[in-house]
Structure 1
């Protein structure tokens, strides 16, 4: 297939035109304050597995508005002192899956948490978290759920879940608060950028082929869903384009990147027709932290680097967290 987007040198020179809303910071601080005030109960129950060297826990914690969110927590059984933490978020349509599929971070000495994704988890792996909040008319999928009002938009709830997961984990005595990383691929990378942009306690972020970045360009450039959900919505709601893109500014990875001082390891696939590479570069070039790196996979589509990028992450984070 041909390259679907910009190539170098135009790709490396690309800068996003997304503008930061004037009340961006207050919108997110108010959102988090409301959800933290809602309270909720944390439960950690040993998971039923055959694992002998890893402890696995089925976790429920309060997310947006105190609503229950699930996740798996994995810890190395042989551990001393506080552990560095990796929180992973999941790609579009996926769920938390099974603990035995999620071993490489815990097996490398990290505390590892995989947060479930509310209202998804049936597209390619199983989830266990509902989204109890209703929505105005929308296209199937979540990209347009509540998109006419920033207070109702689906990703307000999901990004808040991500920060509340960090809240919950930093309350645990086995976590080193100075070594907190977030990561994820596609939608998970977009969530990771949002959490790192909202929460200064995050010291490292590793977004792989991140989704939810540079919406205006993505919607006009992507060749496949999920961005095309927004296209189909606007094809019917012809008078709502300005309103939709105004909402999306509050959830754009470019704006979260502008807020983060964490260390960052991005990846991009130059043949990606789901998350166009220019949108990934839009977030990367906007990223405020000085310690940032991007790894390119020239001949890959949205699968990106796969296990090659996993290996890059292990080495990169290990150096920064003293685990190399």
Structure 2
């Protein structure tokens, strides 16, 4: 970023840090019981029979067949979404795609992959997976059962991702071992928590990932769901045990597959130091890539150009060999 981005916030969304300082952010230490907590949840998710159901969606596209999809996740939670199947070529890979905290109203037809079955899930409580009493509003969704580590909504969303992988394997057994994950913001944080434990996921793209370095996240002025968590903790003071167990920077230390991380230098909603804490936690490897954006969750002059370049990079990253 060559020039400061004008903004209306009463805080600095760069937090006074340049790229070198962000790349020096150290991820936090795992709390006691972290691995057992997630391994137990993963085993539970693997035991679920998702019973996927498909029906044709009226949307038409020259490249994709479009289906509505539904399946059962853990806690017998009904999950909805969309499945895109290529009209040309065989299905040689799978890709699960998450969403940000705005939810998702439709599949994205410009997903830059070929010969791939693409499952766009809606995480529990949001969009096509909405169910009372869970709020569809980000500032309330992120607080759902935050005082109960075993019941926190974020853990359930991680399980929804794992069961989505099971769905693709059930529908297309030949792509087993060739399923990726891509998620932005909220979905990026969920991916950071999910990928370390699931060896069925062979690569991941996390963009502007949330839930990194939770204790630091509580201290950095922000908007959106982060501000909601900060306000809750200031009022009740009981969120840290849950947040420490749901820290994507702690989890990312255990990722061993190729990763593409797209990270922002300026972001009022997901503080860049917390994004970089996730990326910096990845074990050093030649197959971990970073793509630096001038800003996230905010418009900026080079946005269209950078997002176009990132889309090309994502297409190469998930390209069928």
TM interval, shorter chain, is 0.7 to 0.9
How big is the shift at 1:8? 3.4
Partner of 2:218, secondary structure, is helix
| Structure 2 residues not aligned, in runs of 5+ | 1-5, 7-11
State the TM-score, normalized to the length of structure 1. 0.85
Residue 26 in 1 paired to residue 25 in 2?
no
Residue 255 in 1 paired to residue 278 in 2?
no
Residue 94 in 1 paired to residue 106 in 2?
no
1:161-200 to 2 correspondence within 5 Å? Answer: 161-173=160-172, 175-200=174-199
CA distance in 2, matches of 1:3, 1:105: 30
Paired position in structure 2 for 1:272: 267
CA deviation map 1:123-145 (0-9, x unaligned) = xxxx211245779xxx9522221
1:41 to 51, 70, 74: 51
Query: Does the 8 A contact of 2:45 with 2:162 survive in 1?
Result: no
Paired position in structure 2 for 1:217: 216
Query: Does the 8 A contact of 2:211 with 2:246 survive in 1?
Result: yes
CA distance in 1, matches of 2:291, 2:245: 27
Equivalent residues, number? 302
How big is the shift at 1:3? 5.3
2:288 to 288, 292, 295: 292
Partner of 2:212, secondary structure, is coil
Paired position in structure 2 for 1:55: 65
- RMSD value over aligned CA atoms? 2.4
Change (3 A) 1:152 1:176: same
Query: Does the 8 A contact of 1:19 with 1:249 survive in 2?
Result: no
Partner of 2:318, secondary structure, is helix
How big is the shift at 1:36? 4.3
How big is the shift at 1:25? 2.3
Paired position in structure 2 for 1:314: 315
CA deviation map 1:215-245 (0-9, x unaligned) = 11122114212111112112321xx2xx411
| Structure 1 residues not aligned, in runs of 5+ | 121-126
CA distance in 1, matches of 2:171, 2:48: 20
